[in-house]
Amino acid sequence: MKLDWRQGILYLTIIGMEGCWLYALMALLNKQVAGGRLSAMVLLFFYLVAFSFNRLLKWLRLPEVCRRSISWLVWAAGMLLIVKIQLFSGLGWLNPSWLLALPQAVVQILYAFKPELLILVSSAVLWWLGRRLAYLRINFAALVGEFQFGLVILLITFFATSMLTVDLADSVPIVLTFFIFALLGTSIAHAQEGTSWLSGMYQGHWSGLLLVSISLVLILGLLISLVVTPDLLHLVLAALKWIGGLIMNVIAFVAGLFPGPGPAELPPAMPVPEIEPSEGFKLWTMPELVRSGLSLGLVILWSGLVLVALWRISSQIFGWLRRRLASMAGAEFEPLPGAFTADLLSLLKHVLFKVLGLRLLFRLARKSSSVLPEVASVRQIYRQLLRWAAAGGCPRHMSQTPYEYLYTLVDLLPEAQGDLDFVTWQYVSARYGPSLPAEDELHKLRQSWHKIRQHRLKRPSSEYLHEQE
């Protein structure tokens, strides 16, 4: 299977984003569980091996059962190799102690979570992520979902780091690298689908603006990280304490100017009878198990509130962007709601079905508004056509059907009749028909849209404008 260089860049951006939050999470777990004995870079290299090996299996076109079996057998061998190298490098390869360490750690999981178990769980998750990425179809929606999920994981990781007082020295480079890959990947994916500013007539202007914005954000982030140091924060805190002390001294001085109340005699205290404590009386204290459970519940509650807040903020931001892009001279806009929810549900179902091998008793009902990626690509190109035509002075009326609007566009642009017919037919078929467009049809659709943009739309007649009014 030949990989397009644009798709290769998109794969690299997703690997970079996932690598950032995986490194932060692995570093935190390594310090808390393994005491810093493991190497997070070795585990991330295992993630790259998983992606490369599963891409090779996909290229070989073996049966699905064979590919799964071979993939997870290689994972088991790689996991044992990491256990040997990371924890038992001093033992010989023929010594059975390092082979028996993993079963013993599984048996003792109720008493202690050993580093062997961390390697087992983390390597399985990393291998599944690499295998998932090898079979993932990269587009703009997938990049946005990866960015949203990775941002949530980074926030949870840094929140846990601050609560556990763990020192992650690489937090600033991790965040900057994550946003570099996220901005680069979403920009390229959006431009590749022909629906962004980068594919319009001012693509040079917007490309330069994008590069300048990314550079400015990175430079400001580096300057802030260099200027705002712990010493500066301590200095500011000391200045605030000095100002607070000065204010308290002024208040005490002003209060000392007023005469105080005279001394008063207190009444004699009443004698208190002595009561011998009962031997059976004991002060009730909360058991340690209950206290731990309540603490865990509080952490889960706050994490859920943070996730809900992030979901609401991201939904509002993307909704605002959709409205801004759609507000062009009466062009119609077709929303695709539920992107973050659909990605999260898809990830949860993947974990339950693929990793754990479970089957849900009740299937999660799909919303009627969920749109497949192929249909979403066709609808995005048609929406771009609507915005382009509306900007040229020929918006689609609310009462017009796609084919009625096609006749209007053909009258104004007869030299692109074939491409306009194909784009409209693909949109109607994908929007209202049961079949999905093939890959070659999507490629031809993008070419037709590119040819249409090369023409200049003629101004509509006064009769058409009068009908629109």
Across the range 80-88, mean pLDDT stands at 88
pLDDT tens for residues 128-155? 999 999 888 888 888 888 999 999 999 9
pLDDT tens for residues 198-230? 555 445 555 666 677 777 877 887 787 777 777
Across the range 26-44, mean pLDDT stands at 86
Does residue 90 register a pLDDT over 80?
yes
Within 152-293, strands assigned E span none
What whole-number distance in Å separates Cα of residue 181 and Cα of residue 176?
Answer: 9
Cβ partners under 8 Å of residue 6, min gap 6: 188, 192
What whole-number distance in Å separates Cα of residue 132 and Cα of residue 151?
Answer: 19
For residue 182, what are its two tokens? 């996220």
Angle at 388 between CA 385 and CA 389, to 5 degrees: 85
Q: Which residue has the higher pLDDT, 336 or 69?
A: 69
Across the range 389-407, mean pLDDT stands at 84
Q: If pLDDT is split at 50, 70 and 90, which confidence band does 170 have? A: confident
Does residue 370 register a pLDDT over 70?
no
3-state SS assignment for residue 119: helix
Does residue 251 register a pLDDT over 70?
yes
pLDDT of 329 reads 40
> Judging by beta carbons within 10 Å of its beta carbon (0-12, 13-18, 19+), is residue 99 exposed, middle or buried?
middle
Most confident of 160-174, 185-199, 317-331: 160-174
Q: Which residue has the higher pLDDT, 74 or 90?
A: 74
pLDDT of 15 reads 92
Q: Quote the percentage of the chain above a pLDDT of 90.
A: 11
Across the range 233-243, mean pLDDT stands at 85
Q: What's the Rg (C-alpha) of the chain?
A: 31
Does residue 364 register a pLDDT over 50?
no
Does residue 446 register a pLDDT over 70?
yes
Q: What is the mean pLDDT of the chain?
A: 77
Q: Is 133 left (phi over 0), alpha (psi -120 to 50) or beta?
A: alpha
Q: How many helices (H) and strands (E) does the chain have?
A: 16, 0
List b or e across 194-209, with b for residues whose CB sees 16 or more CB atoms inside 10 angstroms: bbbbbbbeeeeebeee
For residues 64 and 58, the answer to whether their CB atoms sit within 8 Å is no
pLDDT of 21 reads 92
Contacts 24+ apart (CB under 8 A), 333-341: 333/383, 334/379, 334/383, 336/141, 336/369, 336/371, 336/376, 336/379, 337/369, 338/367, 338/369, 338/370, 339/141, 339/144, 339/145, 340/145, 340/148, 340/311, 340/314, 340/315, 341/311
Across the range 422-444, mean pLDDT stands at 85
pLDDT tens for residues 307-356? 777 777 776 776 666 555 544 444 444 444 454 555 556 666 665 555 44
Across the range 288-316, mean pLDDT stands at 75
Locus of tokens 């004995």: 37
